[in-house]
């Protein structure tokens, strides 16, 4: 650990892709702020990072709450230092066919994915602009290309691609890149919940998805964390406004 250690913020870091990304960025040398709705839920992530010799703090914030995001980012800056990496990962599902989708299903998904990425990116950009350096990575999805039962989620994940491309144009002159990763099927509690909702055993669900994926396996959170690690690295400074599909195939 040094005074010049770079600081990364990962939202939705209590579990799944966010937890794996927090651990990967810590292994890459970042001091990591693991943000989730409830700080206590990030205890395992922070403990795993500490056990591996890294530095991390847990921060509680709802990414869709403007004041909470501003407070959380200021706390990170005071505690660890100015953030130079943001991973917009926090997410929720409210799947339903269009005719059954409620206003709340729509608004919740838009709030967490789109408004959350907007609020977190706006809060960190001032630190990044001051440093003339930054890396913003947002989680899109293959669902951005359209997915039955996910009109809300697909719209949000497609929206994040337009958001990312726009940030890359606005923030590029300040040494800040903005990119998206678009995972396919990744084994997490989110996909386990989807299997439960459609009434399919999770192992069978995974086997079916693996069979239709060119690399013949499902994804792991570490697969996504690896791509994020690259986009968060200093060497990726000429890669911006891009969407990298991490899907075991070319669905992009
Ligand atoms: P996950 O296991 O459900 O984890 C999501 C995390 O985000 C949870 O810890 C959750 O906290 C947190 N969160 C939810 N709402 C939040 C809010 N308003 N503020 C702060 N934190 C919040 O999901 P995952 O599968 O790891 O997915 C991570 C990201 O990748 C999401 O953006 C997802 O859409 C995207 N993605 C996933 C897949 C996949 O196959 N798994 C594929 C493509 C894209 P609580 O537990 O407290 O709700």
pLDDT per residue of the chain (252 residues) written in tens, 0 to 9: 445 799 999 999 999 999 999 999 999 999 999 999 999 999 999 999 999 999 999 999 999 999 999 999 999 999 999 999 999 999 999 999 999 999 999 999 999 999 999 999 999 999 999 999 999 999 999 999 999 999 999 999 999 999 999 999 999 999 999 999 999 999 999 999 999 999 999 999 999 999 999 999 999 999 999 999 999 999 999 999 999 999 999 987
Burial class (CB in 10 A: 0-12, 13-18, 19+), 247: buried
Plot region of 106 (φ>0 → left; ψ -120 to 50 → alpha; else → beta): alpha
- Please pick, among 127, 133, 153, 245, the residue that the annotation labels catalytic: 153
Q: 228 and 214, same structural domain? A: no
Backbone angles phi, psi at 184, to 5 degrees: -90, -135
Q: Could you tell me if the CB of 185 is within 6 A of ligand 1?
A: yes
User: Which residue reads 């995974």 in tokens?
Assistant: 206
| CA gap 225, 153 in Å, rounded | 21
| Domain containing residue 20: CATH number | 3.40.50.720
Is position 251 within any domain?
Answer: no
Q: 107 and 44, same structural domain? A: yes
Give, in order, the Cα–Cα distances in Å from 246 to each of 27, 37, 67, 197: 21, 26, 33, 24
State the maximum Cα–Cα separation within the chain, in Å, rounded to a whole number.
Answer: 55
Q: 207 and 104, same structural domain? A: no
Is position 252 within any domain?
Answer: no
Percentage of the residues of the chain whose pLDDT score is greater than 90: 97
Is position 153 within any domain?
Answer: yes
Is position 95 within any domain?
Answer: yes
Q: 63 and 9, same structural domain? A: yes
Across 120-187, where does the E strand assignment appear?
134-139, 176-183
* 127 catalytic per annotation: no
Q: 124 and 212, same structural domain? A: no
Q: What is the domain extent for residue 198?
A: 187-218
Q: 230 and 143, same structural domain? A: yes
Q: 196 and 123, same structural domain? A: no
Query: What pLDDT is attached to residue 66?
Result: 98
Question: Do the Cβ atoms of 234 and 201 come closer than 8 Å?
Answer: no
Query: What pLDDT is attached to residue 48?
Result: 98
Q: 102 and 86, same structural domain? A: yes
Q: Could you tell me if the CB of 18 is within 6 A of ligand 1?
A: yes
Burial 95-128 (b: 16+ CB within 10 A, else e): bbeeeebeeebbebbbbbbbbbbbbbbebbbebb
What pTM was computed for the model? 0.98
Q: Could you tell me if the CB of 139 is within 6 A of ligand 1?
A: yes
Q: Could you tell me if the CB of 54 is within 6 A of ligand 1?
A: no
Query: What pLDDT is attached to residue 3?
Result: 53
**Tally of structural domains, the chain:** 2
To 10 degrees, the CA torsion angle through 35, 162, 226, 76? -30
Candidate of 11, 16, 249 to mutate for ligand 1, largest count of ligand atoms within 8 Å of Cβ:
16
Q: 148 and 163, same structural domain? A: yes
Q: 234 and 204, same structural domain? A: no
CB atoms within 10 A of CB 183: 24
Q: 192 and 139, same structural domain? A: no
Q: 149 and 91, same structural domain? A: yes
Q: Which of 162, 115, 137 is nearest to 225 (CA)?
A: 137
| CA gap 14, 248 in Å, rounded | 25
């Amino acid at each position: 650990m040094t005074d010049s250690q770079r600081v990364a913020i990962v939202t939705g870091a209590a579990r799944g892709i966010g937890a794996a990304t927090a651990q990967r960025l810590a292994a890459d040398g970042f001091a990591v702020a693991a943000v989730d709705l409830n700080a206590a839920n990030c205890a395992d992530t922070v403990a795993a990072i500490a056990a591996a010799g890294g530095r991390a703090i847990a921060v509680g914030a709802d990414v869709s709450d403007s004041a909470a995001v501003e407070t959380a980012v200021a706390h990170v800056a005071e505690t660890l230092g100015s953030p130079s990496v943001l991973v917009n990962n926090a997410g929720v599902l409210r799947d339903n066919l269009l005719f059954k989708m409620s206003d709340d299903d729509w608004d919740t998904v838009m709030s967490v994915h789109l408004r959350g990425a907007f609020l977190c990116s706006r809060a960190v950009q001032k630190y990044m602009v001051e440093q003339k350096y930054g890396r913003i990575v947002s989680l899109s999805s293959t669902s951005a290309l359209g997915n039955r039962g996910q009109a809300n989620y697909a719209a949000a994940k497609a929206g994040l691609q337009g958001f990312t491309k726009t940030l890359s144009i606005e923030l590029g002159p300040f040494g800040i890149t903005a990119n998206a990763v678009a995972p396919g099927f990744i084994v997490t509690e989110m996909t386990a919940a989807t299997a439960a909702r459609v009434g399919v055993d999770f192992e069978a669900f995974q086997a079916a998805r693996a069979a239709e994926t060119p690399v013949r396996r499902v994804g792991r959170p570490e697969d996504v964390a690896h791509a994020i690690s690259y986009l968060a690295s200093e060497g990726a400074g000429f890669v911006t406004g891009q969407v990298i599909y991490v899907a075991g195939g070319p669905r992009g």
